[in-house]
Structure 1
Amino acid sequence: MELKSHSPFIKWTVRLLKKALYIITPILVVSILVTVSYLKQTSEVISKSQNEAIWFVLQLTKEYSEFIYQLQSYQLGTSDYNDMLIQYEILWSRFNTIVNNSLVEHLHQFEGSITEIDHHFTYIKAMEEQLLQLPRTKNESSLLLLFKNDYDDLQIYLNHKFRLSSDDLGNKINAVSTLEIIFRYLLISTILTGMIIAYLLLRESRYHHRLAMFDSLTGIRNRLWLNKKLDKLAKNNQAFNFYLIDLDGFKKINDTQGHHTGDIFLRHVASRLRQLEQPHCFSARMGGDEFAVIELIQLNTSGATPSLLPGKLVSLLNSSTMISGKSLTISASIGISQFPTFAKSIPEVLKQADFAMYEVKQQGKNGAAYFKPYSVSTMKNNPLSSVS
């Protein structure tokens, strides 16, 4: 898979998604903040409304109950007439405060409550004249009955109106529940958006890593990856064979057939090298017509087990390739260095492989050779045979 062909699409897709996410994410965050703020505000309003309303209602019913008690005591002769009138004035003031005081704002949020309370206020005001005439009329029993009936009606209404299941509080609680649901969805959306952003950043990071570590023309690993891999292997003291591959005759193809054909040919070479890759074998393009292969090996007391890879490489790279109806054939000169058998550092690995590769070229190309101190063991044309 070539990076070049996918680069515009990946860049366009990532750019488009990032732009969309840059717009969506702030909107989601602001929406969550607004929802949380409104949720908090609504909860506070419900709590404050309920508490304030209940306080006024309790005070009203308390004063009304006290007035009836005073009226009943007056009827029985255990209370003074003036004490009863004072309690009436207190009740009258409590009604007036609820109905006419704008500071009792939260009570107005309970639909119909002020109207109902005002109705009872009007009723007791209408009864005031009869209260004033009590010492003369002695009509305590009938007045007491009327006030008790009115008090019972008011008590029934208030109990219904201000219990938690009332329609007004229920509507507010439903509003809070709706806000909670919205908040959950917004939170989930934000989390999903964050996951998408993380995925895109990871994908983009991997893409840029691939750009940095893989050759854009052939799609296999590049020299940067190769250097990092060699350093890591040396640091871990992992034994390996390093194959430096130079294509014989590639310059002629490039000059006579054109650079486009040359690029296609390099892709074919990379594809063949990729066929050899295993968990212990890696290929890379070093640049131009130079490639490299790393083969991990196990050392024993007698040294490394002879590898079959040199012969496979020579045979694989020597086969013909059809490009635009033309059969093109080249060979390869391969120099092999061994770490840590002879090369003790990465610079020595590269230098020894380069020396062995040029030794093959001097002996006619199309072969592979291991580097050894003071001599080079070559494999030419018959790569599986070794010459000391």
Structure 2
Amino acid sequence: MGNSRRITSLLIYITPLLIISVLVAVTALKRNSDIIANSQNEAAWYVLQLQKEYAEFHLQLHRYAVGTSDHNDMMLQYEILWSRFKTILTNTHISHIYHFDGAYHQISKQFSYIQSIEPQLLALKPGDPNSLLVRQVKDNYEDLTIFLSYKFRLSSGDLLKKVKATQAMEILIYFLLCAITLLGSILLWALWRESSAMRKLAMSDTLTGIHSRLWLNQHLKEQVKNKQPFRFYLVDLDGFKAINDTLGHHAGDELLKTVAARLAALSGEHYHVARMGGDEFAVIESLAVQHEINISQKLLNSFQQPVILNGKNYPISASIGSSEYPLNASNVSEVLQQADFAMYEVKLQGKNGVVHFQGPTAPNVALPNDRASTAERFTNSL
């Protein structure tokens, strides 16, 4: 019971952690998937536009150097290229550029170069297509084009890392889902087992081990609900308080255990025993199937032998009242009341006997032979 509770408590903590792990893994998987998708869309589009503007600027610069283009056209294309660099490096919406190792650094480096050549462009004169500035712009353009073309291909190292990370994340998610399913099943099993154990514990009397009052109430209700005939015996120990007070509660508990064990020996296909509380017990005799066993006499015989308490023998007896459903009672409450009335009749007649309730006229009494004279007034109802 204790181990089951510890396992259940542990699983209650572990299962939410696994669920959180799955959510984190799913988030990471989505992020990687977005990177792969958006890297071929959003960031790639801006990079391609940058390459296009850079190529156009190089073309305008070359034309101006050979004298086929106006200086203003060349500078206008320079301003467009400058703005394209600025947009890529400062626009927060192009966040996926940061997921490519070295891309931001390379673009930033190229932008710094473009900014640095502005004075040279303003002072550049046409007529020298092989000037150092034209060659430098061409070389930088080609370097950036090669770098970005490799970085933003699906086969590039950066994207391959993301693809592999996504695949690993998928495997991890499947593993976590399997683990959650397994642990969830174990948790449900542990909770069911603990619930069953608690129910079993509630259905058993903790002192004597026989059925409890809760079980008794439920069983009686089921019998009435299913229209199953039965006879109910209410067993009340005689002189229990005296023993409990003089010998102590430990001796009283031992007496209750002994009586419970003797009554439990009656349990079988047609009989069930329960403790109602205190020194009261109950025996339910099923009448759905005919049987020839005299349960009344067996109950009385259970108290013929003395009990050993603190090393000494003590005689015991019980006052037993019974009621029958549906012959005399129509519900559980009436069964209990009638059995209690019959038991009280035994108390009035000197205890140590069995009275069967048979309606308001007269109960049916069964007493030991040495008290037969006491039962004469009930002879007609036997």
Aligned position for 1:268:
258
Q: Distance in 1 between matches of 2:333 and 2:129?
A: 124
- Deviates most, 257-266 or 331-340: 331-340
SS state at 1:334 partner: strand
Cα contact 2:307–2:314 (8 A) shared by 1: yes
Cα contact 1:318–1:332 (8 A) shared by 2: no
Cα contact 1:29–1:190 (8 A) shared by 2: no
* 1:318 CA drift (Å): 3.0
Q: Distance in 2 between matches of 1:158 and 1:307?
A: 99
* 1:270 CA drift (Å): 1.9
- Selected match of 1:376 from 352, 359, 364: 364
Q: Distance in 2 between matches of 1:255 and 1:166?
A: 91
Cα contact 1:331–1:366 (8 A) shared by 2: yes
Cα contact 1:72–1:144 (8 A) shared by 2: yes
SS state at 1:335 partner: strand
Q: How does 1:37-76 map to 2 (within 5 A)?
A: 51-66=41-56
1:94 aligns with 2:119: no
Q: How does 1:17-166 map to 2 (within 5 A)?
A: 51-66=41-56, 81-82=68-69, 86=73, 90=77, 93-94=80-81, 97-98=84-85, 102-104=89-91, 106=95, 107-117=97-107, 122=113, 136=127, 153-166=143-156
* 1:69 CA drift (Å): 7.2
Structure 1 residues 345 and 54 mapped into 2: Cα distance closer, same or farther (>3 Å)? closer
* 1:239 CA drift (Å): 0.6
* 1:276 CA drift (Å): 3.4
Structure 1 residues 208 and 86 mapped into 2: Cα distance closer, same or farther (>3 Å)? same
Note the residue ranges of structure 2 that are not aligned, 5 or more in a row.
371-378
Query: How high is the sequence identity, in percent, across the aligned residues?
Result: 41
Aligned position for 1:298:
288
* 1:261 CA drift (Å): 0.2
Task: Say what the alpha-carbon RMSD is for the aligned residues.
Answer: 5.5
- Deviates most, 259-268 or 242-251: 242-251
1:326 aligns with 2:316: no
* 1:23 CA drift (Å): 8.1
Aligned position for 2:376:
none
Aligned position for 1:349:
335
Structure 1 residues 28 and 120 mapped into 2: Cα distance closer, same or farther (>3 Å)? closer
* 1:240 CA drift (Å): 0.5
Q: Distance in 2 between matches of 1:314 and 1:227?
A: 24
Amino acid across the alignment from 2:275: R
Q: Distance in 2 between matches of 1:316 and 1:114?
A: 95
* 1:172 CA drift (Å): 5.4
SS state at 2:69 partner: helix
- Selected match of 1:338 from 288, 310, 324: 324
Structure 1 residues 329 and 86 mapped into 2: Cα distance closer, same or farther (>3 Å)? farther
Structure 1 residues 261 and 186 mapped into 2: Cα distance closer, same or farther (>3 Å)? same
* 1:232 CA drift (Å): 3.8
Note the residue ranges of structure 1 that are not aligned, 5 or more in a row.
1-5
TM score, norm. by length of structure 2: 0.66
Structure 1 residues 42 and 279 mapped into 2: Cα distance closer, same or farther (>3 Å)? farther
Aligned position for 2:237:
247
Structure 1 residues 275 and 22 mapped into 2: Cα distance closer, same or farther (>3 Å)? same
Aligned position for 1:218:
208
Cα deviations by residue, 1:316-373 (Å, 9 ceiling, x for unpaired):
3433444443344423343332211233343442344345445556777555454445
SS state at 2:251 partner: helix
Cα deviations by residue, 1:53-106 (Å, 9 ceiling, x for unpaired):
31222112323455677799999x9xx921798368526742664279741464
Structure 1 residues 150 and 254 mapped into 2: Cα distance closer, same or farther (>3 Å)? closer
1:258 aligns with 2:254: no
Aligned position for 2:375:
none
Q: How does 1:188-207 map to 2 (within 5 A)?
A: 192=183, 196=187, 203=194, 207=198
Structure 1 residues 109 and 358 mapped into 2: Cα distance closer, same or farther (>3 Å)? closer
SS state at 1:283 partner: strand
Q: Distance in 2 between matches of 1:59 and 1:152?
A: 15
Amino acid across the alignment from 1:330: I
Q: How many residues align?
A: 362
TM score, norm. by length of structure 1: 0.65
* 1:292 CA drift (Å): 0.8
